[in-house]
Amino acid sequence: MAGIKEEKKIYLVGIYCRLSKDDGTDNESASIATQKSILTDYVKKQGWHIAKTYVDDGYSGTNFQRPSFQNMIKDIESGLINCVITKDLSRLGRNYLDCGLYLEVFFPEHNVRYIAVNDGVDTLNKSAMDITPFRNILNEMYAADISVKIKSAYRARFQQGKFMGTTAPYGYIKDPADHNHLLIDDKVAHVVKEIFDLALKGNGVAKICRHLNKQHILRPAAYAAERGETGFERHFEGNEDKRYIWSGNSVRSILRSPIYAGNLVGYKRIAANMKSKKRSSKLPEEWEVIPNTHEGIVTQEEFDIVQQLITSRRLPQNKGGFVNIFAGVIKCVDCGCALRAMNVHRRKRPEIIDCVQYSCNNYARNGRSECSAHNIEARDLFNAVLADINCFADMAVNDEKAVRAIEKRLTETDQSRA
Name the phi and psi angles at 161, rounded to 5.
Answer: 85, 20
Angle value at C-alpha 113, between 110 and 116, nearest 5 degrees: 135
- Could you read off the pLDDT of 197-228 as tens digits, one per residue? 999 998 888 889 989 999 999 999 889 888 88
Is 240 strand, coil or helix?
helix
Q: How many CB atoms lie within 10 A of CB 371?
A: 21
pLDDT at 191: 96
Round to whole Å and give the CA distance between 168 and 189.
Answer: 13
pLDDT at 317: 47
Q: Which residues of 102-121 are buried (b: 16+ CB within 10 A; e: fewer)?
A: bbeeebeeeebbbbbbebbb
Task: Kindly state whether residue 331 falls inside one of the protein's structural domains.
Answer: no
Task: Kindly state whether residue 4 falls inside one of the protein's structural domains.
Answer: no
Q: Which is the catalytic residue, given 20, 60, 68, 250? A: 20
Same domain, 202 and 277: yes
pLDDT at 316: 47
> In sequence order, which residues have a C-beta less than 8 Å from that of residue 238 and are 6 or more positions away?
none
> In sequence order, which residues have a C-beta less than 8 Å from that of residue 229 and are 6 or more positions away?
167
Among 110, 128, 146, the domain boundary falls at 128
What range does the domain containing 192 cover? 162-312
Task: Kindly state whether residue 288 falls inside one of the protein's structural domains.
Answer: yes
Same domain, 107 and 181: no
Among 297, 312, 327, the domain boundary falls at 312
Round to whole Å and give the CA distance between 171 and 68.
Answer: 36
CB half-sphere exposure, 103, CA atoms < 13 A: 29
Same domain, 112 and 240: no
Q: Are 27 and 35 in contact (CB under 8 A)?
A: no
Same domain, 192 and 291: yes
Same domain, 307 and 343: no
Task: Kindly state whether residue 352 falls inside one of the protein's structural domains.
Answer: yes
Task: Kindly state whether residue 324 falls inside one of the protein's structural domains.
Answer: no
Same domain, 180 and 299: yes
Same domain, 76 and 123: yes
CATH for 83: 3.40.50.1390
Same domain, 293 and 181: yes
Same domain, 25 and 107: yes
Task: Kindly state whether residue 84 falls inside one of the protein's structural domains.
Answer: yes
Please state, in angstroms and as integers, the Cα–Cα distance from residue 140 to each residue in 22, 95, 144, 349, following that order: 13, 5, 6, 61
Name the phi and psi angles at 126, rounded to 5.
Answer: -60, -35
Q: Are 248 and 365 in contact (CB under 8 A)?
A: yes
Round to whole Å and give the CA distance between 274 and 416.
Answer: 43
Helices 189-200 and 205-214, interaxial angle, to 10°? 140
Same domain, 236 and 186: yes
Same domain, 218 and 263: yes
- How many domains are contained in the chain? 3
Same domain, 121 and 170: no
Task: Kindly state whether residue 152 falls inside one of the protein's structural domains.
Answer: no
Q: Catalytic: 372? A: no
CATH for 244: 3.90.1750.20
Task: Kindly state whether residue 183 falls inside one of the protein's structural domains.
Answer: yes
Residues in the chain where the model's pLDDT stays below 70: 1-8, 21-30, 127-152, 235-239, 271-279, 313-322, 345-354, 395-403, 406, 413-418
